[in-house]
Structure formats: C-alpha cells, structure tokens
Amino acid sequence: MGSQQLVAEFQADAGATKEPTLGLVARFKFGLARGFLTAWMKCFSLKGLYLFGQFFGTCEWLIDRKSRRRFRQRLRTIFGDELTPAMARRHTLRYFRRVRCDKMIYLIFDKLPREKIVRRIRFHGREHLDAAMARGKGVFVTMAHFGSHHVSGLLMALAGYRVAGVRDRNEGALRRYIQQRYAESFPEFEAVKVLFADAFPRDLYRCLMANHVVGAALDVDRQRGVNLRTATVNMYGQPRQFLTGTMQIALRCGATVLQGFLLSRRNYYFHLVISGPLVDPDTERDEPAVLAEVMQRYADGIEKQVRRRPCHLSKL
C-alpha cells in the first residue's frame, strides 16, 4: 500500500468539528471537587487522600451492582473457567478502589510540586526508550486502555521527553478540563503535542521525524470510521479488531515501536513500564505480514498484563 493511499484513508474520516468546549456548570463542578480534594490532601497528606479513595471506592463497590456485574463479565472473558467467586470479589473490589484513587489524584496532580511527582515515578525499562531515542527516527509507545494510561504523557514529559499523544477528539469533560489545568501548571505538559485520531496524519509524521515519543492506545472497543483500517488479533481466545493506522505510520517512518503500561501502586506511586521493541526497526517495514505480527505481539502484551493485574482495566 502506498503512502498516498494510507494518508487518504486517514483523511477520509477526518472531522471538521472542533473539540467541544466545557460549560460553566462542568467547570464549577470540577473546581469544587478539586478544592475539596486539595484541602483534604493538605490536612491529611497524600497517604490520607489515598486512604479516603480506598474507602470511597469500597462504598462504590458495595452500592454499584451494575458496574460490579459488568466487571465480573469482563473477568469471565479473561479467565474463563479459572475464575472463582473469591477471585471475582477480590479483583472487583481492587478495581473499584484503584479507579477511585486514580481519579482523585488525576484531578489534583497539578497541585503537587513537580519534584514530588517525579519522586513517585518508578521507571522500568527506560533503557529501551533511551536506546530508541538515540536512533533519531522517533518512538511509538503503544499504550492500552489499561490503568490511567492518559497520565503517562505527563509523567514522561516531566521526565524530560518530547511527547505527542494521539487521542479521541470527543473525550470526556473531566479529561479536557484537567488537560487545561495541567497545561497552565506544567510548562512540560504545555509542550506536549495532542493529535486527534480522526485528523489528517501529517503532524504525526512530523512528530516521528522530529524524534518525538508518540503514544496511542490501539485497542479500541468501537468502530471510529469505516475508512480506518484494522487488524484482527487473538485476545483471550477470541478475535478482536485493533486500529493499525498509527502503527503503519510508525513502521513507514522506521520508528522504534515499544509497549508501555502505567501501573498504580499504594499511596500514589506509579510504575511506568516500557518493553520492546515489538519489531526490529532496522530491518522491518510496513508490510502486511509484519503488521499482523507486531499487532499480535501488542495484543499478547496487553493480555499478559491484564491477567496479572485485572484491576487496571479502564473500560467496562
């Protein structure tokens, strides 16, 4: 497939609408929550905020029967007959607690001193990222809907990397609100380039050629456009469709393809895990067989992490 055809497929689904703006009510609601959580943190420390999140998450676990049922359905898909009632209860409770704690710290991350945030990051596999950067052809870090992956860009920017992220144009109001606050508080985050998944891919090519670290989650759970190509992968013993556009561009540019996960730990410590490369950038190119192989490796990496830490699933 030629580069013009690949570009045309992305352009065919490009949206002309701008990103929705936040209303006054939404800004007021988020601002009120931020004020409360900031005051709680100042009174009881980050550990106190974490314990409050654990308590809040436990209450949600007790009350929200619908979400409990949906998460257990996901667990049955992952573990099949291996899933016992005790496993289901344990993983479901951990999921509710993890999600609530992550949402709390995400809402007030910009209220923490930069040095305090950096001290709470444990970077695993950084040598893979630095070696990829040394090649000078860009790095594509494949993320997934696993944990608070949207925080990875901020953490990597604070670690000194030039970062670009590919995301959905129609994100939730909370995400858009917090991204505005981050940009106001962190000069590093203000420099992060945001690329929309439905936009013309010229900027994505430019970022890779300028040796940026580009991050994107390819494990979509819905069809974003009839003109966007997908690849069939095997995951949990079932066929699934993952987007391939960003991966194809990375292979075409000769960028290094890595895989990344953000793991949440007790008391708001985070492990940023980088592994790979998923494909040899010096010998492999954008060919159908290569693309199918690297997408399956990507899916295998996600499945391995999900089986080890199902509480980090971020979509039900």
Residue numbers of the domain that contains 247: 3-312
Q: Evaluate whether 274 touches 141 at the Cβ level (below 8 Å).
A: yes
Residue where the block lists tokens 């990397």: 161
Q: Report residue 15 as tokens.
A: 């949206």
User: Residues near 8 by Cβ (< 8 Å), separated by ≥ 6?
Assistant: none
pLDDT in tens, 108-127: 999 998 889 989 999 999 99
pLDDT in tens, 140-154: 999 999 998 888 888
pTM of the model: 0.88
Burial of 287 (0-12, 13-18, 19+ CB in 10 A): exposed
pLDDT beneath 70: ranges in the chain = 1-21, 221-227, 284, 316
Q: What are phi and psi of 168, to 5 degrees?
A: -70, 140
Domain count, the chain: 1
